[in-house]
A and B are shown apart, each in its own frame.
Chain A
Amino acid sequence: MNQRVDVRGLSCPLPVVNVRNKLLEMEKGILEVLIDTGTSKDNITRMATNAGWKVVAREEDGEYLLTISK
């Protein structure tokens, strides 16, 4: 089962920090991230892509589900 992190409602920089810590811990696999702001979506996508992860974003009702995989 995929791992999941919910960063909705958290202030910067906690969304990207929490996801980064999780990715460092996982090293590889699939992580789903629930996000509620465009800023966090952009920050997390940039951080994960720079670290060599593949990111797929899906938007629903103004929230985002990022699927991050390696």
Chain B
Amino acid sequence: MGVCVACMVRDIAGALGLHRAEAVQYIRPEIIGFVLGSLIAALMFKEFKPRAGSAPLIRFVLGFLAMVGALVFLGCPWRTLLRLAGGDGNALFGLVGLVVGIWIGIFFIKSGYNLGRNQKTYPLVGWIMPVIMAGLFLLLIFRPQLPSGAIFFSSEGPGAQHAPIFIALIIALAIGFFAQRTRFCTVAAVRDVILIKDTYLFTGVVSLLLAALISNLILEQFHPGFQGQPIAHTDQLWNFGGMVLAGLAFTLAGGCPGRQLFLSGEGDADAAVFVLGMIVGAGFAHNFATASSSKGPGLWGPASVIVGLIICFIIAFSMSDLGKKMVEAKR
């Protein structure tokens, strides 16, 4: 699977019993490490700044929809790149969808889209997401068995395949630390090239792609093609459509899912609400058959993408100058 924020958040949702897809239930220490690594960097460099209040419920909805879209494609922007680096041609359609979604988001940003300013807030608010992550880590280590059957851990399938806990955690802490310092964001990488002609983040994304590609070539794990790719399907319309939805939702929320995790580690409670939206969205995606499998999109996957896009357009339109002008014209 590689590092996939959407998949790993989905696995955490499963472990908590928010969905019952037995193959994808595990508390991923990588997600915990991303948040806590960012927290450590933010504290060290005096960038831990508790803040909240920029349209939190909208951000929850965007996180929810981004996850629904990503699980139709089967991957976040990071995994899109990693799938490409492994030779998965289906990921090309996801990548094009992601860029189209970002491009639509840029149109609305240029039209004055704005979720409003956040405010400085109490330190406690900024600590909530790191504390949630620490709690998840305790659940991972002690694995309490509740009467409901939770905490759930897959015995087979992708959820059963994982790196040793402490190795995964340490690597993720390092990624979280450096991502906080470099402001790494795959969505901003594309957005900044189009919007302000800035290639700083884009070079980071290209480096990630090349490093993964070279590693796969050396380890003889590069298998070009469309059929039989790991945790992927070949329905290209919905590979594309799922990532249009995810790309648009990420852009409207200000960053990719990894970036939202890093922001939540440096005290951004609005980003934390987006992450909570992703967790709930993952539960919904499996309970309501919108998530894809390697066989193809779920029963309600295509419908969920269409409805999700409509909701995103309503949010983007009504929170931009376009919506304001329409309201003023009616007066």
Contacts and interface: CB of A to CB of B under 8 A. Distances in A.
Contacts of B4: none
Nearest to B113: A14
Chain B interface size band reads 20 to 34
Contacts of B253: 11
B309 interface: no
Interface string B246-266: 000000011100000000000
User: Taking chain A's interface residues, is the majority helix, strand, or loop, or is none over half, making it mixed?
Assistant: helix
Interface in A20-53: 20, 36-39, 42-43, 46-47, 50
B47 A13 contact: no
A42 B255 CA distance: 16
Given A10-B114, A10-B117, A17-B109, A46 B47 contact: no
A16 B185 CA distance: 15
B142 interface: no
Interface residues of A, number: 20
A47 B200 CA distance: 10
Contacts of A36: 49, 51, 120
Interface stretch (B151-159, B187-195, B222-230, B237-245): B187-195
Given A8-B117, A11-B254, A62-B46, A17 B196 contact: yes
26 contacts: A8-B117, A10-B114, A10-B117, A11-B54, A11-B254, A11-B270, A12-B185, A12-B188, A12-B254, A13-B188, A13-B192, A13-B195, A14-B109, A14-B114, A36-B49, A36-B51, A38-B45, A38-B47, A39-B183, A43-B183, A43-B198, A46-B200, A47-B196, A47-B198, A50-B198, A62-B46
